[in-house]
Structure 1
Amino acid sequence: MGLGVSIYPEKSTFKQNKEYLDLARKFGFTRIFTSLLEIDDDAEEVINKFKRIIEYGNSIGMETILDINPGLFEQLNISYDNLGYFKDLGAAGIRLDIGFSGYEESLMTKNPYHLKIEVNMSSGTNYIESIMSFHPNKSNFCASHNFYPQKYTGISQSHFEATTAQFTKYNIHTAAFVTSQEGELGPWPVQTGLCTLEQHRYLNIHTQVTHYRLMDNIHDLLIGNAFATEEELKAMSEAFLSPHPSFEVELNEGATELEKKILFDEVHVYRGDRSEYMIRSTSTRIKYKDQSIPAHHAEPIKRGDILICNDDFGQYKGETQIALQDMENDGNRNIVGRIKKDSIFLLDYLKPWSTFKLLP
């Protein structure tokens, strides 16, 4: 599993890209995506720009996949059965934005340079079936979803799940894109973020990454636009690489120091005998059974509220709960905070017996 960033050498300087890659590498990023769909300017100058930054990426342990289409093969006078050109560029592989018939892709995976051949996952056709019928070398074969610069054009959750399943049934290595809320560069002049899933377009990067992590069907995640901030790179790294998925919390002002300790110092476990109404983390009631938790903020409960059972709840005192539905409150549950509004939907993806953390 890996993290990646995107760079666009035709629209940025070597210095900008070098500094960005250095920053990304600091947070554990190992992949680079860049787009070479067509060459409008002097071909040699453009290719040299790409080669220089690709070689720098290689020098710091970051591999580059080049996004190309069949038209580029013709423009550069390259044949799909001889990929040495891309090896000379220093690329680890190529992504076929638009594919061939299936036979060509399979043949390309058997290239002598062991370049990765990455195909487009988002079309929803039987494309993968065509490729697999020609028995590709799966060690050199991978796939990634598209990203979508235009608002409202990113793929839906249902389409994402259906198309991803077409590839995961063959154990193909997969990737998808999240978007920076600060990045302004992409392969086209106009963009409103560069995400795979439309629902991610305006979400913070921690929430986007946590969604993919909980779905557990994508191996690599890349930021589609450049340049993400250091804070975003750090947040993405922590959300992706931490031992436990995490949920960001808006804390109530009345939460006590003990309640904060219960929420934020513990690794919570979603109790396996699940309820339709709440996620229960019961180990905290054992650890804190001798501590007093006075009743407060015992108003009606809303979906996403974080609850701690108080002194009035007998043996359940100290149990941590997250509401999955609106409920009445009998006064024995303190509402100490709530999952951040944009992240509440993530609760539907957490599975019983999963571990998780809560973040202030």
Structure 2
Amino acid sequence: MNNGISIYPGLDNTLEENLELIDKAAACGFRRIFTSLHIPETNVQALKRELSELLREARRHDMEIISDISPATMDLLGIKEFSPSAFRMLGITTLRLDYGFGLEEIVKLSHNKQDIRIQLNASTITGKLLSALVEMQANFRQIDALHNFYPRRGTGISEECLVRKTMMLHKLKIKTGAFVPSQGRRRSPLQDGLPTMEDHRDEAAELASRHLIALGIDSVFLADSLPTDEELHAIGSLSNDQVTLGAKLLTKDPVQRELLSHTFTARADEARDAIRAEESRLILKDMGMKIQPDNTIIRPIGAVTLDNADYKRYMGELQIIRTPQEADARTNVAAMVEESEVNMLQYITPGRKFSFRFKE
């Protein structure tokens, strides 16, 4: 998964802090860097002084560099005429087009010969604009999209808006990213977090990221100035092809623990009361092990259960409970989904992969 960090030369961090952030992010598996070259509060002289060194360090790690630009960016960088080659020479590999670019310019840029990618603003995209790009034969192989972030409280978009816009883009096979705020150093001047979705403003970055992935987002960007090491490690290892649930283990049995460490697929024949794993019984059979009765208590919403040997051929059946159920001596409660993440169950639709991140 091509997740990203954000770098703001001339704003909050020193050059040394930004260089270290790039190195740490690359080591954690991040492949992309977002930077904005038209933030009003930026120290322009510091930006000009630091930008080339930061871009050089990013290229050293073979990271994609996305620049949020507007026509005013050319004046800032001393570029006399807007052209993809001018940005390519600087080391910028993707241009996120902000205000001031019309349809004809977007289409023309999508056919550039310098291998510069074009990025659309996913939060402001409309069906009319996408239809026009199709009609004008834009090169969608060179186009992706990234949602906005929102510094002011109360201005982030809703889940419904994010899903609707992302689905429009996905119909044209346009990969789409979004931002989550960090609980580390938050970006100036408001320092109130930079989420795409307002619901994520005060949420842990890892949980917000897993929520975005569950909603279909293809890449997650840490938006703030200096994320924590824990955030970098957690988000750098996320996968975009599954829903990942935070859960607490309730069993010490090594057989159950081993089984729960796998990635599962929700069955196509969706049960009313639970999410059923398609392959858990076969995995247990391949392990050549048995599950003994253990912690056969009542099953509240979010309980992760494994059928034990007393359930005969159902031994190894893994379920996540959606409707509370009574205790059954044939079914072990092996783990519990974190209460704050029970709402994530709605995204495990038939055929969707899911896995767990366990807390003891």
Q: Same fold (TM over 0.5)?
A: yes
Give a deviation string over 1:244-287, Cα, whole Å, max 9, x none: 653221123xx242464255344434333220211223416646
Give the drift of 1:73. Answer: 4.4
Give a deviation string over 1:164-194, Cα, whole Å, max 9, x none: 1222222223222122222312xx4013222
Structure 1 stretch displaced more, 112-121 or 23-32:
112-121
| Aligned residues between the structures | 353
**Structure 2 counterparts to residues 82-121 of structure 1, below 5 A:** 82-121=83-122
Give the drift of 1:99. Answer: 4.5
Give a deviation string over 1:302-330, Cα, whole Å, max 9, x none: 21111223455444344322102223334
Equivalence for 1:9:
9
Does residue 18 in structure 1 map to residue 48 in structure 2? no
Q: Indicate if the aligned counterparts of 2:307 and 2:314 stay in contact, CA closer than 8 A.
A: yes
Give the drift of 1:206. Answer: 3.3
Equivalence for 1:345:
343
What is the CA–CA distance in structure 2 between the aligned matches of 1:328 and 1:22, rounded to whole Å?
51
Equivalence for 1:142:
144
| Change beyond 3 A, Cα 1:152–1:263 | farther
Aligned-partner SS, 1:2: coil
AA matched with 2:173: N
Equivalence for 2:207:
207
Structure 1 stretch displaced more, 34-43 or 103-112:
34-43
Equivalence for 2:273:
277
Give a deviation string over 1:321-341, Cα, whole Å, max 9, x none: 210222333444333321112
Give the unaligned 5+ runs of structure 1: none
Give the drift of 1:41. Answer: 7.1
Q: Indicate if the aligned counterparts of 1:289 and 1:318 stay in contact, CA closer than 8 A.
A: no
RMSD: 3.0
Give the drift of 1:228. Answer: 1.5
Q: Indicate if the aligned counterparts of 2:185 and 2:224 stay in contact, CA closer than 8 A.
A: yes
How does the TM-score come out when normalised to structure 1? 0.85
Aligned-partner SS, 2:130: helix
AA matched with 2:324: D
What is the CA–CA distance in structure 2 between the aligned matches of 1:176 and 1:210, rounded to whole Å?
12
What is the CA–CA distance in structure 1 between the aligned matches of 2:355 and 2:91, rounded to whole Å?
40
Equivalence for 2:302:
304
Equivalence for 1:228:
227
| Change beyond 3 A, Cα 1:342–1:201 | farther
Give a deviation string over 1:135-186, Cα, whole Å, max 9, x none: 323333222111122333221121112111222222223222122222312x
Aligned-partner SS, 2:10: helix
Give the drift of 1:69. Answer: 2.3
AA matched with 1:182: G
Among all aligned residue pairs of Structure 1 and Structure 2, give the percentage whose two residues are the same amino acid: 28
| Change beyond 3 A, Cα 1:135–1:191 | farther
Give the drift of 1:288. Answer: 7.8
Aligned-partner SS, 1:143: strand
What is the CA–CA distance in structure 2 between the aligned matches of 1:150 and 1:39, rounded to whole Å?
15
| Change beyond 3 A, Cα 1:99–1:119 | farther
Equivalence for 1:128:
130
Give the unaligned 5+ runs of structure 2: none
Q: Indicate if the aligned counterparts of 1:118 and 1:143 stay in contact, CA closer than 8 A.
A: yes
Equivalence for 1:173:
175
**Structure 2 counterparts to residues 30-69 of structure 1, below 5 A:** 30-38=31-39, 43=44, 45-69=46-70
How does the TM-score come out when normalised to structure 2? 0.85
What is the CA–CA distance in structure 2 between the aligned matches of 1:174 and 1:44, rounded to whole Å?
33
